Amino acid sequence: MNYNILVCDDEKDILGAIEIYLKADGHNVFTATDGMSALKIVEENEIHLAIVDIMMPVMDGISLIMKMREITNIPIIILSAKSEVTDKIVGLNVGADDYITKPFNAVELTARVNSLIRRYFSLGASNIQTGDLKIGRVSIFDKSKEVRVEDEVVSLTPYEYKILYLLMKNPGRVFSSNEIYESVWEEEAINVRKIISVHVSHLRDKVEINPRKPDLIKSVYGMGYKIEDKWWVLKV
């Protein structure tokens, strides 16, 4: 299947280079040089993944991602010259799935694109078993990748879904940030505590009654995260 990828960057040389590499890999590419134009493309076309620069005219990348997250859960990669950890955290906080700094390796970018698309459409890490689950008020229907909280569908990003599934599959077990990262991202975990913290925070916003006092996804001080085992688990 050929996937539709949006590339948004105000540097036309970079835009053209990414377009060439992605098309050579078999993808259909939509391009934009500002956030407003990119948002219009997302609204009018079936886009499967977006690559977004931060510093852009009309609408910057952070604002674009926030707008996109109101209408879609497709994977989003930030491509930015800003390399500070705080910049990456801000990007992840607003809904991005990955962050690549400029200058970038085109082969690595293509590999990350394909990896995110594969995970978005399969959502199945090799060490995370599949099957429907219900813990307390939260239900996961794995075939359709649908998550419901008290019968109301909630929208999760691919990584949020996989973190939730990992924890719900193993109620009571504490997973460190490194274990979560390596299970979900399938990469070596290096300085990932803040990244996992951001994703868990987003999950809590969506599945907890009171995200500031979570009763489902618990933090275990100095160790990691777990789903409270006081809830019962149902495999459908």
> What confidence score (pLDDT) does residue 179 get?
92
Ranges of residues in the chain whose predicted pLDDT is under 50: 124-129, 231-236
Q: What whole-number distance in Å separates Cα of residue 116 and Cα of residue 76?
A: 9
Q: Are residues 82 and 188 in the same domain?
A: no
Taking the whole predicted model, whether its pTM rises above 0.85 is answered as: no
Q: How do residues 209-221 score in pLDDT, each as one tens digit?
A: 898 889 889 998 8
Residue 39 lies in a domain: yes
> What confidence score (pLDDT) does residue 173 get?
87
Residue 94 lies in a domain: yes
> What confidence score (pLDDT) does residue 20 get?
93
Among 68, 97, 122, residue at a domain's last position: 122
> What confidence score (pLDDT) does residue 122 get?
62
Q: Are residues 164 and 104 in the same domain?
A: no
Q: Are 191 and 99 in contact (CB under 8 A)?
A: no
Q: How do residues 118-130 score in pLDDT, each as one tens digit?
A: 877 765 433 334 5
> What confidence score (pLDDT) does residue 131 get?
67
Q: Are residues 143 and 199 in the same domain?
A: yes
Q: Are residues 74 and 143 in the same domain?
A: no
DSSP sequence for 190-221 = SS-HHHHHHHHHHHHHHH-SSTTS-SSEEEET
Q: What whole-number distance in Å separates Cα of residue 203 and Cα of residue 201?
A: 5
Number of domains in the chain: 2
Question: Whole domain around residue 13: which residue ranges?
Answer: 4-122
Q: What whole-number distance in Å separates Cα of residue 141 and Cα of residue 134?
A: 9
Residue 28 lies in a domain: yes
